[in-house]
Amino acid sequence: MQKCQLHIFADASTTGCGGVCYLRAVDRNGNVTCTLAMSQARLVPKGETSIPRLELIVAVMAVQLEGHVKRELNLDLRPSIFWTDSTVVLQSIRNERKRFLRSFLDGWP
């Protein structure tokens, strides 16, 4: 393999949340192969947890998922790509004044 990279997708809803990690590999001929590396899902506990809060929780879960897969694989990996459809998560990552998740998000682009 010439290049390997992890792509991590995360999402949340009122009933559950989860993340999935794919290994994307490109060989010397430019052929691309994507393989499921690991996934994780959780049921949302009953209560007053908002969707934005759940999206932030699942973003942290995605970072932890990436760390676990990187520790287990013995490959030279390119920087990981994280995918989310939550503007709340994206705004929280870019917020320079309040860094609620700084320890989990260090190293994100």
pLDDT (tens digit per residue) in 41-100: 999 888 877 888 889 889 989 999 999 999 999 887 889 999 999 888 888 878 777 655
Class of domain 3-105: alpha beta
Domain boundaries, the chain: 3-105
DSSP letter for each residue of the chain: --EEEEEEEEEE-SSEEEEEEEEEEE-TT--EEEEEEEEEEEEPPSS---HHHHHHHHHHHHHHHHHHHHHH--S-BPPPEEE---HHHHHHHH-SS--TTHHHHTT--
State pTM to two decimals: 0.81
Q: Residue 70's pLDDT is what?
A: 93
pLDDT (tens digit per residue) in 11-23: 999 899 999 999 9
